[in-house]
Structure 1
Amino acid sequence: MGRNTRKRRTPLATKVVAGAAALAVGGGGLVWANFYASAHEENPRHDRTRSAGAQIATIQCPDVGQNLRNVPKGARAGVDQELAKLDKQITEAYARLASTRRDQAGDAGFVQNAILGPLKSKRTAALDRIGINIRRVGGSAPDGLDRFAECKGMVADQPNGGDGGNGQDGQDGQNNGGQDNGQDQGQNQGDNGNGAAGPFADDFVDINDVQPNSRDLENGLAANGEDGSTGSFTTDCGVNENNLFNSDNLIVAPGVDNGAHHTHDYVGNQDNDAFSSDEDLAGAETSCQNQGDKSTYYWPVLRLQDGTQEFDAGDLGGGAEGNVGKILKAAQAEIKFVGNKRSDVVAMPRFLRIITGDAKAFTNGVANANSSFSCTGFEDRQVTDKYVLCPEGSQVVRTSNFQSCWDGQNIDSANHRDHVAFVQQDGSCPNGFQAIPQLQVRLVYDVPTPTVENGQVRNPYAVDGFPEQLHKPITDHNDFINVMDDDLMNEVVDCINSGEDCQ
């Protein structure tokens, strides 16, 4: 499988993360913590390994980007660069956490002194630079930015209950570094190529055990219904036959190589990387059958952790950051725009950016979690915090229903969320927002069903993610930039408002 051609790509050798020398690439990917694989060895290391398993599993930091609401446009490029540095710092700290387990087992203060303390210092400096960027263009930096500097250790139980990423509900690494709280943090898990980076057996559920209509998140409600604007518009953009992959994120980290720290699948626009301008997007080729649709549709790849050495096995964003195994292309990628239950929809502005879901939901909490998993033949059963085990003859389905209310003014916002909103329970938009066509993405995959036995999972599948998110299904997400020409967007709106189903 090939990779796309990248613009101004920095050589890998110049951007190796700090601490990477302590990590080993082999056997299909990054061996984050070899002690997990040796948990049952009958030798003196056994007890020490079990002790290590009780240690914190990952690092929880306040999500600064989601807390920045009033960043002047002139400062956003500089602020986005600093936010990307914060992500890189967490990735590096997690790599050190995962490669020093035996040191942690012998020193209860190791995590705080050697990992979390230095990380706080680096984050403080980056937060200071964010303030400088804002003040440089005449803005007022938020008070108390330094309150976002401190990170904590977190045990890998359930996603943080929803403090918005401020780290108040996570476990404190100072107090839990060597305590046995009765939770199995992976010492009995098999190593599927990336050791402690997951996923684990508890991340999977048999679709037959999911109750119909039980999805309890309000995000991602289907906006269309029997009243209002009932039509639809379907665009066929393929399943990434052109092998367009990279680990950038043009929306969140423009101008930053490897800003996502995981690999994305792209359909639609064929000029997608961190350095693409709106003019680049407008002038690019498209994989969509309707050539008026040059929109960018992208999502984290789904991988089967079967030991396959993919094209990015040694790269940042790929195997060097725990994203290992065979990339699974969707067998179907259904992209549809639908209407609103209460009203007509208005045209989306060109270059409108929307992110749905949260790539950091495991440490941030579920406030922005959205995408869900199901199986063909069982799609009345949707689950956001588990991967699904489908019966023979059934395929895995990933579904994302995007925000479908727009503030009427902005194509983006400082935290990349405030300019759009989900419909309310009655189907209407919040005050001051207008209904726009709702993007619905349904991805269908032929995935060999993993084997789950005795608390272990073999050959699991998982979405790519930030290393410290442990490949949790709750972190699935989807991204969109509207690059339809005006004629096509007007056609989409007319079809939806007139109740027609068009393509």
Structure 2
Amino acid sequence: MHVRIRGAIGVAAVAMSLVAAGLILSQPGVSHAGHSYVYSAEQAQAMVEQQAIPGSEFRANCGASHRRQDDPIVFQNQPGVSHMHEFFGNRTTNAQSTLTSLKAGTTNCAPVADKSAYWVPTLYKNGQAIAPDTVTIYYQGIHDRQRAVAHPQGLRYVVGNSKATSPDQNPAARWSCTTQSPSDRNFLNCPPGTKVETYLDFPTCWNGRDLDSANHRDHMAFAVGLVCPASHPVVVPRLEFLITYPVNGTGLSLGGTVNGVNVTSAPGYTFHGDFMNAWDQAELERRVRNCINAGYICGTDGNP
């Protein structure tokens, strides 16, 4: 099986430092405004542990579609309220997007069966918005792959902490440089000849009932010890975003919100991402069955 080991931060040391610093609470996650979220120590450790785990997979290769101050999950039907986001995949995604509108839209992903909406905060270099070079969306079976099921149409969720005030407060953030393996929660000063890249890993356990929740997270969970909690027993493939940008060096920042004001100067450790599933359901189920469940590495055609 082809294996890609992602650059990962030391697991035990990170989790222990988070708890010791009191930056990640040892109780269920607490939601705040927008994408702000404090992960429990258990969930934070599970998140970091799983960042380096390979597995069976299929993928979608998508392009940067458009850029808007919209967020159809956190600020649904409120155009222009969010900080700036970079949208991938579905070309129609905006503040009013629904499953129905996404299914009626078009996509720049290969395969075209994937009309899902994916988005992250816009990256800036010296104040100038930068569109990604490449965007790869992996769907991976990293635990209990034979029990994994396709995401239901309309499932939506977010990951990350946009209001983090230090790297320790967002275990989801992960930046690196092409051709180099180390990663960091904040931007790295990538040398000439390399490009900035980021990975973002989503949870793999669903409660089996809700397509969304009040904070857009509680219906999903990370597998602790690679086992889904009893509250979230349904295994779904892990989404992993791999985004490469045509820049290096310093002067990098993100779109974000500070004290209620939208800015373009947020640090790298505030990185976060969103997903609204609008795959053709039969095609998604085929790929989960033939790639994830069967233990194969598949390409964009969904074949080993």
| TM range, smaller chain | 0.7 to 0.9
> How far apart are 1:217 and its partner, in Å?
5.5
Partner of 1:176: none
- Tell me if 1:408 matches 2:201: no
Partner of 2:79: 257
What are the within-5 Å matches in structure 2 for residues 25-40 of structure 1? none
Partner of 1:371: 173
Partner of 1:465: 256
More strand by share: 2
- Tell me if 1:487 matches 2:282: yes
Which of 71, 74, 88 is matched with 1:267 structurally?
Answer: 88
Partner of 2:19: none
TM-score, scaled relative to structure 1: 0.48
Which of 159, 175, 178 is matched with 1:356 structurally?
Answer: 159
Report the number of matched residues. 260
Distance 1:389 1:342 in 2: 37
TM-score, scaled relative to structure 2: 0.77
Partner SS for 2:115: coil
| Cα distance change on mapping 1:363 and 1:378 into 2, 3 Å | closer
Tell me which amino acid in the other structure corresponds to 1:275: Q
Tell me which amino acid in the other structure corresponds to 1:352: L
In 2, are the aligned partners of 1:403 and 1:421 still within 8 Å (CA)?
yes
More helix by share: 1
In 2, are the aligned partners of 1:217 and 1:370 still within 8 Å (CA)?
no
Partner of 2:226: 427
Distance 1:481 1:255 in 2: 15
Distance 1:431 1:329 in 2: 40
Partner SS for 2:158: strand
1:406-456, Cα deviation, whole Å (9 max, x unpaired): 1111110011110001121x2111113221010001111221412xxxxxx
- Tell me if 1:326 matches 2:124: no
- Tell me if 1:418 matches 2:243: no
| Cα distance change on mapping 1:444 and 1:464 into 2, 3 Å | same
| Cα distance change on mapping 1:221 and 1:440 into 2, 3 Å | farther
- Tell me if 1:341 matches 2:143: yes
Partner of 1:222: 50
> How far apart are 1:250 and its partner, in Å?
0.4
Partner of 1:498: 294
RMSD of equivalent CA atoms: 2.8
Which of 44, 61, 73 is matched with 1:236 structurally?
Answer: 61
Tell me which amino acid in the other structure corresponds to 1:428: V
In 1, are the aligned partners of 2:196 and 2:248 still within 8 Å (CA)?
no
Distance 2:230 2:162 in 1: 28
In 2, are the aligned partners of 1:396 and 1:444 still within 8 Å (CA)?
yes
In 2, are the aligned partners of 1:237 and 1:289 still within 8 Å (CA)?
yes
Partner of 1:185: none
Distance 1:284 1:258 in 2: 21
| Cα distance change on mapping 1:220 and 1:291 into 2, 3 Å | farther
1:52-74, Cα deviation, whole Å (9 max, x unpaired): xxxxxxxxxxxxx9548xxxxxx
| Cα distance change on mapping 1:237 and 1:67 into 2, 3 Å | closer
> How far apart are 1:392 and its partner, in Å?
2.2
1:326-372, Cα deviation, whole Å (9 max, x unpaired): 11111121211100323421111111112010111228972x54121
Which of 70, 90, 103 is matched with 1:248 structurally?
Answer: 70
> How far apart are 1:479 and its partner, in Å?
0.8
Partner SS for 1:252: coil
Unaligned runs of 5+ in 1: 1-64, 69-82, 88-159, 165-215, 306-324, 451-459
Distance 1:259 1:362 in 2: 22
Partner of 1:393: 193
Max Rg structure: 1
Distance 1:448 1:223 in 2: 23
Partner of 1:285: 106
Tell me which amino acid in the other structure corresponds to 1:266: F
Partner of 2:14: none
1:20-57, Cα deviation, whole Å (9 max, x unpaired): xxxxxxxxxxxxxxxxxxxxxxxxxxxxxxxxxxxxxx
| Cα distance change on mapping 1:474 and 1:225 into 2, 3 Å | closer
Where relative contact order (Cα < 8 A, 6+ residues apart) is larger, the structure is: 2
Unaligned runs of 5+ in 2: 1-28
In 1, are the aligned partners of 2:46 and 2:223 still within 8 Å (CA)?
no
Partner of 2:17: none
Tell me which amino acid in the other structure corresponds to 1:336: Y
